[in-house]
Amino acid sequence: MSILAVILIILLITVIDMLPLIKSKQRKEAAVLIALGLITIAYGCYYSTHRYSASLVNVLFELLNMR
């Protein structure tokens, strides 16, 4: 999956969920949804560029210095 496709899919899903929140003026929920969408885009882009080497577990092992 290319980066553009990842961004488009996440944006589409987030916007669809965002519309009823904007209509009902649930600002806090909308803000959390935007934050979650941005985190998903960031991790999705990271995954799509490191598809064969991405390993959160390896990153955590290095952070914890446990190997």
Binding site for other proteins (CB under 8 A): 9-10, 13-14, 16-18, 20-21, 26, 28-29, 32-33, 36-37, 39-40, 43-44, 46-47, 50, 52-58, 60-61, 64, 66
In this structure, are residues 3 and 45 in contact, taking their beta carbons and an 8 Å threshold? yes
Q: Tell me, what amino acid is at 40?
A: T
Could you tell me the two tokens for 45?
Answer: 């882009």
C-beta closer to other proteins: residue 2 or 55: 55
In this structure, are residues 48 and 6 in contact, taking their beta carbons and an 8 Å threshold? yes
CB of 4 to other proteins, least distance (A): 15
